[in-house]
Amino acid sequence: MAAAIALGAEGVQIGTRFAATIESSAHEHFKQAMLRSSPTDTLLILRKLIPARVIKNTWFERVFAAEKEGATADELLRIIGEKRTKIGMFEGDLEEGELQIGQAVGAIRDLPAAGTLVLDIARDCEMILQGLPAKIIQRERV
């Protein structure tokens, strides 16, 4: 976050990190899968539809194989089926469900409370930004 702000960003998107919190609505099986994942356990698929980065599983293998064989968008829609995200992320089927998550999942090793996470991120960011020379930071400070 500090690097992004130093380069002029107003904020960062960290949905993957918040998916791995106590309060997240993600199924416990999915949360544990996140904790076990490495950065190479995810891959981008469904480029002909809406691209999604997912943890590799049985469902992923079917979709990936179909894409490799040149499946059309309509064929992919039939293959992925309905409610796959719900089945994987919210009902905990780690093999037949879609497990959407960012590549940053490989860096996550705990399930903190969301409030604690926010405070830790803000504290660490401020500490880093205070240590940078003012001329490096690309944004105006209010």
**pTM for the full predicted model:** 0.85
pLDDT (tens digit, 9 = 90+) per residue, 48-107?
998 999 999 999 999 999 999 999 999 999 888 777 889 999 999 999 999 999 999 999
- Cα distances (Å, whole numbers) of residue 80 to 73, 84, 99, 109: 10, 7, 12, 29
pLDDT value of residue 83:
76
Which of 41, 44, 73, 69 has the alpha carbon at shortest distance from 57? 41
Taking the C-alpha atoms of residue 23 and residue 15, their distance in angstroms, rounded to an integer, is 13
pLDDT (tens digit, 9 = 90+) per residue, 2-59?
999 888 898 899 999 999 999 999 999 999 999 999 989 999 999 999 899 999 999 9
- Residue whose entry in the numeric block shows the structure tokens 């996140």: 34
pLDDT value of residue 142:
46
Taking the C-alpha atoms of residue 41 and residue 34, their distance in angstroms, rounded to an integer, is 10
Which of 11, 7, 9 has the alpha carbon at shortest distance from 121? 11
Spell out the domain ranges in the chain: 1-22+112-142, 41-107
